[in-house]
Amino acid sequence: MRVEAGLTQMQLSGRLGKAQSYVSKIETGERSLHLHELFDYAHALEIPLDEITSTIGKRLEKRS
């Protein structure tokens, strides 16, 4: 989603007020997001939260 939004990890981490490693760990699955962090992530990406949850749902279906 970050790439589709045209952002680098550094740009997204700046919007979130976090280190670049925070974004990297989320993207690699080393770290999960709490619900309130998911809201922040959606806001930083400037996309609706339901778009994120829909994308997550589709990715989980592919794993099954």
Domain ranges of the chain: 9-63
Class of domain 9-63: mainly alpha
The span from the CA of 22 to the CA of 63, in Å, is 24
pLDDT tens-digit map of 4-48:
999 999 999 999 999 999 999 999 999 999 999 999 999 999 999
pLDDT tens-digit map of 45-58:
999 999 988 988 88
Q: What pLDDT is stored for residue 36 in this prediction?
A: 94
Q: What pTM does this model have?
A: 0.82
Q: What pLDDT is stored for residue 63 in this prediction?
A: 81
Q: How far apart are the first and last CA of the chain?
A: 21
Q: What pLDDT is stored for residue 26 in this prediction?
A: 95
| Tokens describing residue 39 | 């809201």
Distances (CA, A) of 60 to 13, 53, 64: 25, 10, 7
